[in-house]
Amino acid sequence: MSQAAKILVVEDDAHIRRLLKATMQRAGHDVVEAADARQALALLDIEHPDVVLLDLGLPDRDGLELIEPIRLRSTATLIVVSAREDSAEKVTALDLGADDYVTKPFDTEELLARIRTALRHQRLAQTDNQAAVVDVGRVRIDLEHRRVLRDGEEIHLTPKEYSVLAELARRPDRVLSHVQLLKSVWGPAQTERVEYLRIAIRGLRQKLEVDPSQPRLIVNELAVGYRLRS
């Protein structure tokens, strides 16, 4: 299977760990398991996984505290799989470096789809450091020439609209938090000005979506951030 990968499951609940292992193996992935933070970091160095599925409620350390050490030691795609539903927890995880956040109870097929998408982008990045052109539906984003086309027709965007879209296009299908986008586009001093971001997103939807009232390209993760769906 071309999308097979090595997956590190970090989960203290043995039942959920077995469920995740069976699901991943059924999809053709190789699975290694860790029941706590100490095991997770040891296996990270030994196994070099492509994907880490990280629970936050670990017995020896809060999972949020593991995100930065994992980011420093690995280029693996990091997906948090947690029962914590609070938006602040999701934002914190994403700001620390998680690539995605799935809330328990989760749909196994959706989780597998997110892993497939993450692996596809990961492998594209390895072969071509960064895709110069990103196609999403009827929209083409040419990052090298700073051009955006819809159905072949060039669309005029304001500088801020383009910068927001480019940030999302560099990491398609990944949730970027409000703080990440504000910091990248407006600078570190403007991370509280969520209204700036909402205005830019509204403009992008008006210009790029088939129906701006039912967005399908730029989707909102409530109280967390935005995702560009490929």
Over residues 51-103, the pLDDT tens digits come to: 999 999 999 999 999 999 998 888 898 999 999 888 888 888 988 889 889 99
The neighbour count for residue 23, using CB atoms within 10 Å, is 19
**Considering the chain, what is the average pLDDT of its residues?**
89
Q: How far apart are CA 13 and CA 5, in angstroms?
A: 23
211 bridge partner residues: none
Measured distance CA(50)–CA(80) in Å, rounded: 14
CB 44 within 8 A of CB 74: yes
CA distance 211 to 118: 27
The span from the first CA to the last CA of the chain, in angstroms, equals: 22
Task: Judge contact between 10 and 63, C-beta under 8 A.
Answer: yes
pTM: 0.70
Higher pLDDT, 196 or 1: 196
Q: Give the pair of three-digit tokens for residue 164.
A: 């927001």
